[in-house]
């Protein structure tokens, strides 16, 4: 059958490239050479894996907006940049929120990746200087962006990254939502918070309550564009790669060298999956007080939980306690709702519809 004009599809060659890349990522082999051997491979990575990483960054940045976090002034440094998804995501968010970004520096062990990432950023943001940086000539003041690196770094690489992180004015770190990676990121949080203020996902500065938990871990689910479920290209990709398009799990850490204001004690973070049962839902709550607890909410008192959300639907993991007898809570949709409107009862959430399991 002839392909429609402009329709994407996977050739045998592209399938082979994807399968090779995915096998490397899943094996967590610490390579001493770049993953990408050609620009074609890098472009294909950007088209598929890069999109899934983009959804994760978009979700993280939305959560930062809910907290009213404003990044410090300085350049961006996208370390281990790959095709530069992290930097472009941040620049879009900064442009929308009117935060200034003058320069963006890229480093990757792949020269092809650095040039590719810089070219894409220049094309989308011609007013932002995009530069390839030498690892020994890091800018003096910078916001560090790290994306999907923990599974690739050996001990020496991690030590080098942490040395650079200690010089940043802020750190935004996004990783896959696997148990092993999340636990590693949680341990790094404990060492970094000696110098940095934890912004997110934690709403507190205490030790993470999930680090020692053998069964549970800190992870979230990105909002996935609904149109991909009707795109034959993504359907073919799902079959070839064996991935669940509706689930883009991630873990993340945002830290600031400045001590920012403490969130309201009524706020908490919904961690992991919301599990529905007859008449109630339960999920892990990471409180602004530092307490971590598994809580149960009756549907008759929490209308937003009475029907499940569709997988991939936009959903905030930042929520507010509205009462204890009976337990009441609501996820936040805007910074304004996190302040006065909820107190005044002005927030009337939609009743979502969807499937049996709510993923956030």
Q: Which residues, 6 or more positions from 336, have their beta carbon under 8 angstroms from its beta carbon?
A: none
Confidence at residue 264, expressed as pLDDT on a 0 to 100 scale: 83
Confidence at residue 335, expressed as pLDDT on a 0 to 100 scale: 62
Helix and strand counts by DSSP (H, E) for the chain: 9, 14
Give the integer Cα–Cα distance in Å for 220 and 56.
9
Domains of the chain: 12-256 (3.40.50.150), 267-359 (no CATH)
- pLDDT tens, position by position, 259-297: 887 788 889 999 998 998 999 999 999 999 889 999 999
Confidence at residue 251, expressed as pLDDT on a 0 to 100 scale: 98
The pLDDT mean for the chain works out to: 86
> Are the beta carbons of 121 and 131 closer than 8 angstroms?
no
Q: Which residues, 6 or more positions from 40, have their beta carbon under 8 angstroms from its beta carbon?
A: 17
What is the four-CA torsion angle of 268, 87, 78, 234, rounded to 10 degrees? 80
Give the integer Cα–Cα distance in Å for 253 and 184.
11
Structure tokens at 351: 């009743």
Residue 341, pLDDT > 70, answer no
Give the integer Cα–Cα distance in Å for 142 and 53.
22
Give the integer Cα–Cα distance in Å for 223 and 314.
5
- pLDDT tens, position by position, 70-125: 999 989 999 999 999 999 999 999 999 999 999 999 999 999 999 999 999 999 99
**DSSP H or E segment with residue 195:** none
Q: SS3 for 59?
A: helix
Confidence at residue 46, expressed as pLDDT on a 0 to 100 scale: 93
């Amino acid at each position: 059958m002839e392909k429609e004009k402009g329709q994407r599809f996977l050739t045998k060659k592209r399938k082979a490239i994807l399968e090779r890349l995915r096998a490397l990522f899943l094996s967590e082999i610490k390579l001493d050479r770049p993953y990408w051997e050609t620009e074609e491979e890098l472009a294909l990575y950007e088209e598929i894996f890069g999109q899934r990483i983009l959804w994760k960054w978009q979700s993280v940045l939305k959560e930062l907006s809910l907290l009213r976090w404003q990044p410090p002034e300085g350049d961006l440094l996208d370390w281990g940049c790959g095709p530069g998804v992290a930097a472009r995501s941040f620049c879009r968010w900064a442009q929308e929120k009117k935060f200034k970004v003058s320069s963006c520096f890229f480093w990757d062990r792949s020269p092809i990746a650095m040039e590719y990432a810089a070219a894409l950023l220049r094309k989308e943001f011609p007013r932002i200087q995009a530069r390839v940086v030498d690892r020994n000539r890091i800018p003096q003041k910078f916001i560090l962006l790290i994306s999907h690196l923990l599974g690739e770094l050996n001990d020496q690489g991690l030590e080098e990254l942490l040395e650079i992180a200690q010089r940043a004015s802020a750190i935004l770190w996004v990783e896959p939502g696997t148990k092993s990676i999340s636990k590693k990121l949680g341990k790094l949080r404990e060492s970094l918070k000696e110098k940095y203020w934890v912004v997110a996902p934690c709403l507190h500065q205490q030790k993470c309550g999930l680090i020692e938990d053998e069964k549970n871990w800190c992870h979230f689910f990105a909002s996935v564009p609904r149109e991909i479920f009707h795109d034959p290209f993504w359907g073919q990709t799902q079959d070839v790669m064996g991935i669940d398009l509706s689930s883009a799990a991630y873990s993340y850490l945002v830290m600031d060298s400045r001590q920012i204001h403490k969130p309201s004690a009524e706020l908490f973070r919904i961690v992991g999956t919301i599990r529905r049962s007859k008449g109630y839902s339960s999920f892990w709550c990471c409180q602004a007080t530092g307490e971590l607890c598994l809580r149960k909410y009756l549907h008759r008192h929490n209308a937003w939980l009475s029907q499940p959300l569709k997988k991939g639907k936009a959903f905030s993991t930042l929520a507010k306690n509205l009462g204890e007898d009976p337990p009441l809570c609501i996820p936040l949709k805007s910074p304004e709702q996190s302040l006065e409107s909820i107190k005044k009862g002005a927030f009337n959430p939609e009743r979502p519809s969807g499937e049996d399991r709510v993923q956030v």
